[in-house]
A and B are shown apart, each in its own frame.
Chain A
Amino acid sequence: MADYEAQIEHNILEHEEEEPSANTTRRAVLQAAIGVGVAGTVLSTLYVGAGLVPKKVFTPENEPLAAGDILVYAQGPNQNKPINPADLKVDVLQIIAYPMNPKTNVVKGSDPNNTVLIVKIQPSRLTPATAKGAVDGIVAYSGVCKHLGCIVSNWDPNLEQFVCPCHQGHYDPANSGKVMSGPPPKPIPQLPIKIENNQIIAMAFFLAPPGVNA
């Protein structure tokens, strides 16, 4: 055993004594090969890793909200039925709605970013900017909290504000969805609406992109 090791040691020494320059070149070549190999692997992993990001598959149910869509109840006994503006009372809990394609009657409820809040408040309280997209005090907003994406489904009757149940973000429906307290970084975008045939219709897209990252 020891002899064998000594032999190897000897060989190595001999080797180095013989051709120091050859050794350096060999090392450089090896190092280059390892470097190229590692870099190539990392790059190709990143390249292949792109396949980990899933494709978004579009279906009629998750198409983005569009102008002309009819707003329907997202839940409850009247689910998927158009909201009748006459049923809204001033200063009560908002209705959660989804847009419905008026041509195909498909309710686009599969994309959470299509969630809409509808509430009625005293028309006199609306700021002029907000009033532009409102009818008779009925205003609509994106329902996705700008903080971390919960649906803003609560209402504070004293403050008359939307409340996100997740971290108590408060939004003012009378003033462009402004953040009144809590952690959300931005207002929830308003959805301009009109009323036709006792139905609430989206006049355009949300005034700003809905959802957490926009």
Chain B
Amino acid sequence: MYQWLDERLDITRFNNKVLRKAFPVHHTFFLGEITLFAFVVLVLTGIFLTFNYEPSTRLIKVAGYTDPVQAAYASILYIDSLPFGAVIRSVHHWSAHIMIAAAFLHLLRILLSGAYKKPRELNWIIGMLMLVTSIVVAFTGYALPYDNYAVTATRIGHGIAQSVPWVGVAVAQIMFGGDFPGSDHSIPRLFSLHVLWLPLALMGLIGAHLLIMVKQKHTQPKYAEKVAPGKILGVPLFPQQAVMSGVLFLVYVAVVTLIAGGFLAHPVEAYGPLSANTPAVKPDWYFLWIYGLLKIIPSHWEFTIPLFNGGKFGPEFWGGVLIPSILLVGGLLIPFFSVTKDGQKQRYLELPSQKPVRTSLTIAGLMFLIMGTLAGYIGDSGMEWLTIPVAWTLLIVAPIVTYFVCYIIMRAIWGKTWPQEPQIEFIGGAKGSAADD
């Protein structure tokens, strides 16, 4: 049997080339896999949701509501009434959170260990695009239940899209299918983006990401350098790595189901259908820092370039579009400024303490996001001490202080564990090296 197949499909070659591929093992290497598992679970639960969801805002009568409600809202009530329907919907919802969180941590791991350097710049860029795409997918999914909370949150997104000078209104009209809320086309359009086009784009990006990863091989943990310099140290893809990943997937499903069983996500009944009252909305945690920036940027920071009618640069544009875009573009450019010596290929991970400046900048950047998030709580009860000037001060001072504290700590650690700079690139001495075969 094996031979029969081998003669036709060349399995032995496939086995040697692909299945025996060495995978370095390190606990932080599973972050990317968790992101992938979350995506798989999102697609599977998403299929269930599409079977029962009605992407429409037509008004229908529903038992328990005096006034007609939107069909989208009614269909979520229906999903929640199915056996395990609410659990599956919650698995979908929590997986979206986990996917974004895991992708972000994955990115931090790559950043702190210098794994983005040559030759892996492409995968860094693809990774960034995937993070942004998943956030956009989550945003387009958020409106779908069409409860009062979701609509208000999405309405803010519509406002932010509109704030882009010149093109904003057209972009918002196209993405949201007209005015949001109000247009009958918005839910069908967001639905199409959410369940079809953006997931397809993500699948393409994920495929490219993985292929490039297989081609370029992992950067290896530092111990590999001491144990077997110049060689790839790891377990074979099949069966060892596959078993580990399979188990991890099952653990992922188990944990997220447990969470979903205990905590119903986004209780649409509690929020109620769309009404004229604005609930006190907060966006999901990954948008909170933008939300905080929007709260503290004063209204008079605006000017207009009176060209081709509509060159208005206002506070929503600064906080909602410009600052996030600057961070994104800055992130995309990292591998082109932080490079290896003499254009070497990066084969081993760097320790965070080995690059104190980069590590401190990263932590300071995180502090910026945390302080922006904190500003999102301005005006909440119990947060009276947090005024706009206080928030501004924290936003600017905290990252700077963090940078220096972190730098000093990193220097101290570095001095202890590594008496001198280790020679990373030249171990094994080979130019082409085993990793590029």
Contact = CB atoms under 8 A, between A and B. Distances in A.
A141 B316 CA distance: 22
A62 B177 contact: no
Contacts of A165: 278-281
Given A110-B182, A183-B316, A96 B159 contact: no
A96 B276 CA distance: 7
Interface stretch (B25-33, B45-53, B290-298): B290-298
A54 interface: yes
Interface stretch (B124-132, B166-174, B203-211): B166-174
A138 B378 CA distance: 31
Interface in A146-192: 147-154, 164-168, 179, 182-186
Contact of B152 (A62, A110, A150, A154): A150
A74 interface: yes
A103 interface: no
Contacts of B378: 168
Contact of B184 (A57, A79, A111): A57
Interface centre among A52, A115, A185 (most CB of B within 10 A): A185
Nearest to B57: A110
Interface string B281-321: 10000000001001101111010000000000011100010
A213 interface: yes
Contacts of B320: 148
Nearest to B319: A183
Contact of A152 (B159, B189, B278, B298): B278
A127 interface: no
Contacts of A96: 276-277
A204 interface: no
A75 B276 contact: yes
Contact of A167 (B162, B179, B184, B294): B294
A150 B162 contact: no
Contact of A185 (B155, B276, B295, B314): B314
B183 interface: yes
A47 B156 CA distance: 29
A182 B299 contact: yes
A150 B283 CA distance: 13
Contacts of A99: none
A184 B278 contact: no
A166 B315 contact: no
Which of B275, B276, B281, B320 has the most chain A CB within a 10 Å cutoff? B276
Interface of B: 67, 152, 155-156, 158-160, 162-163, 169-170, 173-174, 177-179, 181-185, 189, 275-281, 291, 294-295, 297-300, 302, 314-316, 320, 378-379
A53 interface: yes
A79 B299 contact: no
Contact of B281 (A112, A143, A166, A212): A166
A62 B163 CA distance: 24
A179 B189 CA distance: 34
In the A-B complex, list the 8 residue pairs whose CB atoms are closest, starting with the nearest. A148-B159, A74-B276, A168-B379, A96-B276, A54-B178, A149-B159, A153-B278, A54-B185
Given A54-B177, A148-B156, A179 B299 contact: yes
A148 B316 contact: yes
Nearest to B296: A183
B275 A183 contact: no
Given A165-B279, A168-B378, A111 B291 contact: no
A183 B294 contact: yes
A83 to B, nearest CB: 13
17 contacts: A49-B174, A54-B183, A115-B276, A143-B276, A147-B299, A147-B315, A148-B155, A148-B158, A151-B278, A153-B277, A154-B278, A165-B278, A165-B279, A183-B297, A183-B298, A185-B314, A185-B315
B156 A184 contact: no
A148 B160 contact: yes
B281 to A, nearest CB: 6
Contacts of B295: 167-168, 182-183
A109 B276 CA distance: 9
A112 B158 CA distance: 13
A183 B228 CA distance: 59
Contacts of A111: 179, 182
A79 B294 CA distance: 33
A150 B182 contact: no
Nearest to A179: B299
B266 to A, nearest CB: 18
Nearest to B177: A54
B156 A166 contact: yes
A166 B67 contact: no
Contact of B174 (A52, A109, A148, A149): A52
Nearest to B281: A166
Interface in A79-115: 79, 96, 98, 109-112, 115
A186 B181 CA distance: 21
Contacts of A185: 299-300, 302, 314-315
Nearest to B160: A148
Contacts of A152: 278
Contacts of B297: 183
Contacts of B298: 183
A165 B148 CA distance: 13
A117 B71 CA distance: 28
Given A54-B173, A112-B179, A165-B278, 18 more contacts: A54-B177, A54-B189, A56-B178, A62-B182, A110-B182, A111-B179, A147-B294, A148-B155, A149-B155, A149-B158, A150-B155, A153-B277, A166-B156, A167-B294, A183-B295, A183-B297, A186-B299, A213-B162
A3 to B, nearest CB: 28
Interface in A26-66: 49, 52-54, 56-57, 62
Q: Which of B173, B179, B295, B297 has the most chain A CB within a 10 Å cutoff?
A: B179
